[in-house]
Amino acid sequence: MISIYHKVNDHVEMTNDEGLLPSLKRENIIWIDLLGWDEDDEKLIEKHFGLEIMNTKESVEIEQSSRYVEYEDHIVSHSYFITQQDNLLVPKIVSFTVEKNLIITNRDYDFRSFKETSKKVLSANQKISSSDVFLNIIDLRIANHADLIENLTIEISALSKVIITGKQTSKPLILKLNALRENFMLMMQNCIDIKLLISVIKKTSYLNQKTEHELDISVKDLESVIDFIRFNFDRMDYIDSTLNNLITYEQNNSIKLFTIVSLFFMPPMLIASVYGMNFKFMPELTWHYGYPLAIILMLLTVIFTAIYFKRKKWL
């Protein structure tokens, strides 16, 4: 689907009819949003404006270092946007084509930041430029990241409580902690991706001075988000250390239990070994009460061992 945002007097209107493109003045069009890749729509926009558009397939194929391409009168770049699907964080590619008074976005997923930007652009009572569109997308993206990180932080708090109460075994907790680490690494990578995108766009002369200043503020907001991610990494390291200590403690208790049990049976086994030797002259073997006496002696050694361990507070 193609959405064309164009100025009409002091406000902005949107149309999905690409057939109206020839009748619209180029200087009045501030934003074209392509949702769901369509080859015909892409070729139409490229031909009409004389600009290059990077689709999702092209974005995936190019190298990380080559995803920013500068032409004589416009630049093309792409960035990853994070969305939550079935409790999983999934990166989706969005490409940007930016020139002096126009921004073109190409995406396969309907992000909340784009919905909110569209509402803001259409409801604004003041003049909106393509720079304002880009700024709104970035600011809403950072806000969305902050919300996702806040949700992940709640999960970390819940995980910490589970460890304290001991309601789960170690394996599910370890897997959950690793999943949280992966999500935070993805968020950190995406925050760096946002900074790279802002840096790329700011190198051009296509943004007005006001937008550049506000992007500097957005970068500071992004730094705060990154600091919060680092704090959560430290918190997960602490949880990981606590979990490892608990696992070690449980293992030590298990080893201690096996050691005590084996020590209980060592004296009886010694007695049984002595009377199990095949010597010819062993007087106790001919006693009438030899067998009961050996059993009683074994029991006494077990009782004595239990009393000794109890006094030493090993039991």
Task: Map out the domains of the chain with their CATH numbers.
Answer: 1-124 (3.30.460.20), 256-311 (1.20.58.340)
Which pLDDT score is estimated for 231? 93
In which residue ranges of the chain is pLDDT below 70?
56-67, 125-126, 166-169, 315
- Cross-strand bridge partners of residue 32: 4, 104
Strand, helix or coil for residue 269 = helix
What does the pLDDT read at residue 168? 62
User: Which residue, 90, 155, 144, is CA-closest to 115?
Assistant: 144
Structure confidence at residue 132 (pLDDT): 86
User: Are 225 and 142 contacting, i.e. CB atoms less than 8 angstroms apart?
Assistant: yes
Task: Report the run of H or E that residue 120 belongs to, with start and end.
Answer: helix 112-123
Bridge partners (DSSP) of residue 95 are 78, 106
Q: What is the pLDDT of residue 60?
A: 59
What is the predicted pLDDT for the residue at 83? 86
- Residues 210 and 139: their CA atoms lie apart, in Å, by 15
- Global pTM reads 0.74
Residues near 59 by Cβ (< 8 Å), separated by ≥ 6? 67, 78, 93, 95
Sheet-wide strand order for 2-8: 11-15, 2-8, 29-35, 103-107, 88-98, 75-85, 68-70
pLDDT of residue 196: 85
Q: Residue 167: its pLDDT value, please?
A: 61
The number of residues making up the chain comes to 315
Q: Are 53 and 28 in contact (CB under 8 A)?
A: no
